[in-house]
Structures are given as structure tokens and as C-alpha cells.
Amino acid sequence: MNLSRLSIATFNLYNLNEPGLPIYTDKAGWSRDEYALKIEWTARQLRELNSDVFGFQELWHADSLAAAIVAADLADEYEMVVPDNTDGAGIVCGAAVRKGLLSGEPEWISDFPEGFLLHSSGDDPQTPQIEVNIDGFSRPVLHFTIKPRKSEPDVHVYVCHFKSKGETKVYNEGWFKRDRDLYRNHQKNLGAALSTIRRTAEAAALRFLLSDLMKDSDVPVIVLGDINDGQHSNTANILTEQPRYLVGDSRGGGDVVLYTAQTLQEYRDTRDVYYTHVYQDMRESLDHILVSQEFYDNSRKRRWIFDGMVVNNDHLNFDDHKARGTNDHGIIRAAFKFRPVEQHETP
């Protein structure tokens, strides 16, 4: 396969499961009518976006994703990437990849990498010791490789879904029950803090993996998914390592940094209307596509050039997702054209 244009999409499926199977505390799950609407809407998004790679979050059942792909009349065009035991009992990240693109075997990373630590005695005498004991991702990170061009190296793709901003429920914890009078007025802020710590640890653990892969290697990397945080959040900053964007032609790039498709698009727009989630009338960008220097226009080591981004988010104007079959996140697709830096472009 020798693609001249590569498109990547991230798609939160909003608890895509077979009808009648429980979803979290909802023991009844989707009704058959709700499921039918959900499959129909999901299939329409797949057809319209027509991406070479779809990265999915909140997938419960492989049969449900297969049903959506069949309904979109795309079964002959895509290869599903899901774990063998995706049977509705838990949530996974998955993918649909245009046939002929996959190279190697996918893996799902549940555990934080060996040697990863979040321990510190403090930067100065006034800073107390900190120790965060988390050893795995809330949702396993999917990692696979694609080969869009025969003469180019494999592109490593990571699909992630980090802990949400919703506060962790602490009322069932033993320490809470033992002193309910003390903690009952603080469960919201304590729960939010725990969620933030977990999400930050997940971002740092994925960055640990990325740095090991990318350092001194010129390996093309794409990270996509629902990181449950914004473009300039600490979560995003940890993942990207905050690269510089406004540099001279073919003079930029960084060995281990990642560039957000949102920022790349902003440099081409006169107005930013990017949002992928609405909560209490607050519009936020929680879903992202991040790319290495091989996909950054002004990089010295550019192989692909940014060719625009699409955000499907009109359905977020309505919050009756069950009745409409829609999901609660916007869907993003970014495209890149194969246009390596010419030798004469480098300084």
C-alpha cells in the first residue's frame, strides 16, 4: 500500500454494548430500539468520516462494533482491532483499520511500564513527600502499527482513554464509612482530586512509554483518544511535552514531542470552534489526535503534511443521546498528505 493521504479519527462510542447487557450500574442496558438507533447513527458516522484508521473508546462488545461496520457497508474495507474477550463485561479501546494498513500484532497495555515511579521527597525543605501508588491504566491502551507506504517506516498508533473528570465515588470506601460525619461534606472535592491524580498518572505512564520508543529513533507516532482534558491542560502537556509551533519552514520538530491536530488546525482557521464535549453548558476539547514530528509541517524531519481536521459535534447540541442513538463526544478526523521535506528545504 502506498497512500498519498492518510486520515485518522478518534471516536468515543458512548458505551457501545449489545442490547440487554448491563452498563455500569444500569442493569438493563440498551433496549433493542435504543440499540438499533445507536448502530444506525454509528454506521452513518463511519461512512461519512471514511477514515483510514478509527480509534474507538467505550467499546463493550465486539459484536456491536461489527454490527455498526456491517450497517455502514464497510465490512469488506476494514479490519477490526479488538481483544478476543470483548464480550460486554468491560470497556476496551479498539480500532477499525483499512485493510492492508495493519502491520504486526496489536497489544493492549494494562500495566504501567516497569520502572515507572511517581515518588518524590520534595524539591525543597518546605515541600512534603509525595508518593502515588497506581500501577495500571483505567482502560488498557491499544497499541498497533500501520504501514501507509512501503518505503516508509511503520507508524505506531496508540488509542487511549484516561480517567474522567467526574469525581471518584468515595462513599463506599472504608475510611469514609468509619468517619462519615467528617467526610460527607468533602466527598466531591476529594473524589475530583483522586480522578485528577489518576488521569495525570495515566498520562505520565503513557508518556514514559512514548519517550522510550521515540528517543533518538525517528519513529512516527500518532496518539489519539479521549484524554478527558483540554488542549492546554496538564494532562495534554505531559503527553505532548509542549513543543514550539511557530518556527521557520523546515526548522522545527522535536525528537520526543507530539503536536496536537487542534493547534495545527487553529493556524489555518480564522475562528476556533473546536469542542468535543458539553457538560453543564461548558464546551471543552476532551478528545485529541497527537502526532510526532514526522507529521508536523515545519519539522526538519517531516514526512507528512497536515491536510485539515474535521470535528463532527452537532449532535452535542442535544443531550437525549439514548433517544437519538448519538454519543456524548464529538468525533475528530485529521488528515495528512505525504510530502517529505526536500533536501533543499533544510537550512
Question: Quick check: is 189 in a domain?
Answer: no
The per-residue pLDDT of the chain, averaged, comes to 92
| pLDDT of 345 higher than 80 | no
pLDDT of residue 123: 86
Q: Which residue has the higher pLDDT, 123 or 241?
A: 241
Decide if 95 is inside a domain: yes
Lowest mean pLDDT among 61-65, 108-112, 278-282: 278-282
Question: What's the half-sphere exposure (Cβ side, CA atoms, 13 Å) at 261?
Answer: 31
Residue 253 placed within a domain: yes
Which has the closest alpha carbon to 96: 55, 59, 63, 147?
A: 55
**Residue 250 pLDDT > 70:** no
Residue 130 falls inside a structural domain:
no
- The average pLDDT across 143-161 equals 97
Residue among 101, 206, 212 nearest 158 (CA): 206
> Across 3-12, 23-32, 266-275, which has the greatest mean pLDDT?
3-12
Give the residue-averaged pLDDT of 118-136.
92
Residue 346 pLDDT greater than 50, yes or no: no
The more confidently predicted of residues 125 and 13 is: 13
**Residue 282 CB: number of other CB atoms within 10 A?**
8
Q: What is the mean pLDDT of residues 9-16?
A: 97
Structural domain including 59 reads 5-112+139-164+219-345
DSSP for 40-65 reads HHHHHHHHHH--SEEEEEEEEEHHHH
Residue 129, in any domain of the structure: no
* Cβ atoms 49, 76 nearer than 8 A: no
DSSP code of residue 262: H
Rg (CA), the chain: 21
- Domain CATH code at residue 316: 3.60.10.10
- Specify the pLDDT at position 245: 82
Measured distance CA(229)–CA(284) in Å, rounded: 8
Residue 268: other Cβ atoms inside 10 A:
11
Mean pLDDT on 216-221: 95
pLDDT, position 342: 80
Q: Is position 158 within any domain?
A: yes
Q: How far is CA 1 from the centre of its chain?
A: 26
- Confidence (pLDDT) at 25: 87
> Is residue 64, in this structure, part of any structural domain at all?
yes
Over residues 123-137, mean pLDDT: 93
- The whole-number average pLDDT for the span 223-244 is 93
Using pLDDT thresholds of 50, 70 and 90, give the confidence band for residue 159: very high
State the pLDDT at residue 267. Answer: 82
CB 303 within 8 A of CB 294: yes
Position 321 in a domain: yes
344 confidence band (pLDDT: 50, 70, 90):
very low
Q: 5-16 and 53-61: which strand pairing? A: parallel
Neighbours of 5 (CB within 10 A): 12
Domain count, the chain: 1
- pTM value is 0.94
Cα dihedral 281, 196, 261, 291, rounded to 10, equals: -160
